[in-house]
Amino acid sequence: MQSSHLPPAFRRVVTYGAGTLAAVLTGAALYALPDPAGAPHAARIADTAASSVPSAGSATPTSDSDSGSDSGSDSGSGSGPSSGSGSGTASAACGTSSAPTTGTSSASPLTSPDIEPATPSDAASVTPPVAASVTPSVSTSAAASFHGIYAFSGGNTSDLATDPDVAGRSLVYYWAQLEPRQGQYCWNLIDQDMKPWVAAGKKVVLRVSAAGWAKWDTAADSAHGTPGWVYAQGVKSVTEQDGAVMPEYWNQTFESDLDTFLAAFAARYDGDAAVSAVDISIGVGGESKADSEKNPDLLALWQAIGYTDELWWGYAQHTITTYTSVFHRTPLALMPDKTFIGGTDGYDEGKIVDYAVAKGIWLQDNGVVPGRTLSAPWGQTPVIAEMRGATGDTGDNLADDLKAAVAEHPVLILVFTSDITDADRAVLHEVAATAGTGG
């Protein structure tokens, strides 16, 4: 394969040498090559756990809520077919994931902006091996039957893995946790968090974002969701009033580095039978917005590093295309919410919703609100319904929230862990019992 014919991000991966993740460009789509061993998820967990190196770490990001949206999504969030592919070795830069015991969360250090980029040889030592054939492209659409209630938020804990009314969990990470040094991937963090759910015969939704609000997890320094080595290459950033650092997403270096990460991420988890869906992460918390901090100077803050709605739309399309080019078997879900902050004519929420639906991508409503009706395109693709916040924060009644979620005819309902209690057991059981139906 002539690497000079590939986009910069994938050209760099290909030229790293033997043992490196390979990718080929076929027409308009990039296809990640699978693990020749075709190792099932449980086997890959054992391999990764054995190779991980213990080190001090911090908790994974959690979620918070923020109301208001054009498309029907009202909250900020902190949230399968055959067996998955890919392998890899955890490096000393990776924290050791928590043991698969009840109530634990993964531990992993986030990088600071002064971390040096890894050399190509460093990257080659930890990237997955390649196979000789290309993974066929398939639709990410799936039958829109209801698959159950998934636990959401709460630090990726496993304490609900054996709850009979919970079918799985949304696991949320930062890019900085999973690639603390360029080309060194900490898949052990995800694998260990998945392990108790897989052992219980349940599944997960995976989300990896590049930024989040600092209030979500100050202990984990969630202000830095993008790896420090990305900023070290000249990528600009904004610092919100809460201290959160958010990247210049449309910078070509940022896009190229993210593309490379996503190719490796897909090579590892695309088609994993334990992964129900992967969230397409665009902006803060993975949602389609650049920022929604209640800051009167928000637009000026972003315009200072060059933001325009046109640039944001170009970046969003690029990122969606990357996800759909490397994930072929696991469904993808886009989280539309306040996508454009510039107020430019023609740039409204319907633009990205229509774009996703046309590509057969699922939609995720990260802010279920009783009494609200989603726009028509939401009924044309499978939907994941996420509560807009924990009822203790919103003042909502869980029964009303679940009724509103069921009205969206979702494939999954994401419920905050703090709301999955015996006090609401009756309504949780009633909804969970409908799994396998049309919702």
Report the SS3 class of residue 26.
strand
Residue 165: per-residue pLDDT: 98
Distance separating alpha carbons of residues 346 and 323, to the nearest angstrom: 25
Q: How do residues 175-208 score in pLDDT, each as one tens digit? A: 999 999 999 999 999 999 999 999 999 999 999 9
Question: For the whole model, what pTM was predicted?
Answer: 0.74
Query: Quick one: which of 290, 311, 286 has its CA closest to 299?
Result: 290
Q: Could you tell me the pLDDT band of residue 310, with boundaries at 50, 70 and 90?
A: very high
Alpha-carbon distance 343 to 345, whole Å? Answer: 6
- Does residue 300 sit in helix, strand or coil? helix
Which of 9-13, 143-147, 293-297, 431-435 is predicted least confidently?
9-13
**How confident is residue 292, by pLDDT bands cut at 50, 70 and 90?**
confident
Of 6, 326, 418, nearest to 138 by C-alpha is 326
Q: In this structure, what token pair is assigned to residue 240?
A: 């919100």
Task: Look at residue 251 in the predicted model and tell me its pLDDT.
Answer: 98
**Least confident window among 140-149, 260-269, 334-343:** 140-149
Of the chain, the end-to-end C-alpha distance in Å amounts to 47
- Residue 92, Cβ density class (10 Å: 0-12 exposed, 13-18 middle, ≥19 buried): exposed
Place of tokens 């902190």: 78
Give the C-alpha separation, 229 to 27, whole Å: 31
Q: Which two tokens stand for residue 254?
A: 């940022």
Distance CA 325, CA 319 (A): 10
Give the pLDDT band of residue 436 (cuts 50, 70, 90).
Answer: confident
pLDDT at residue 53 in the model: 31
| CA-wise closest residue to 84 among 32, 123, 124 | 32
Integer Cα distance of 63 and 65 in angstroms? 7
Cβ–Cβ under 8 Å, residues 284 and 291: yes
Sign of the CA dihedral with 405 first, then 409, 414, and 420 last: positive
Chain segment 27-76, per-residue pLDDT in tens? 333 323 233 334 455 445 444 443 333 333 333 443 443 433 344 443 43
Tell me which DSSP letter residue 256 carries: H
**What is the C-alpha to C-alpha distance for residues 172 and 190, in angstroms, rounded to an integer?**
9
Tokens of 20: 């490196």
pLDDT digits (tens, 9 = 90+) for 226-249: 999 999 999 999 999 888 899 999
Least confident of 206-220, 310-324, 360-374: 206-220
Q: 3-state DSSP call for residue 111? A: coil
Helix (H) or strand (E) holding 320: helix 309-326
Tokens linked to 147: 């698959």
* 63 touches 153 (CB < 8 A): yes
Residue 302 in this model has a pLDDT that exceeds 50: yes
Answer whether residue 271 shows pLDDT above 90: yes
Q: Distances from the Cα of 240 to the Cαs of 130, 171, 200, 224, 333, in angstroms?
A: 41, 25, 40, 12, 27
Which pLDDT score is estimated for 243? 86
β-bridge partners, 237: 247
Fold (topology level) of 3-432 = TIM Barrel (3.20.20)
CA–CA gap between residue 187 and residue 271 (Å, rounded): 16
Does position 409 have pLDDT exceeding 70, yes or no? yes
Contact 295, 244 (CB under 8 A): no
- Mean per-residue pLDDT for 213-219? 62
Q: What is the pLDDT of residue 41?
A: 53
Each domain of the chain, given as residue ranges in start order, spans 3-432
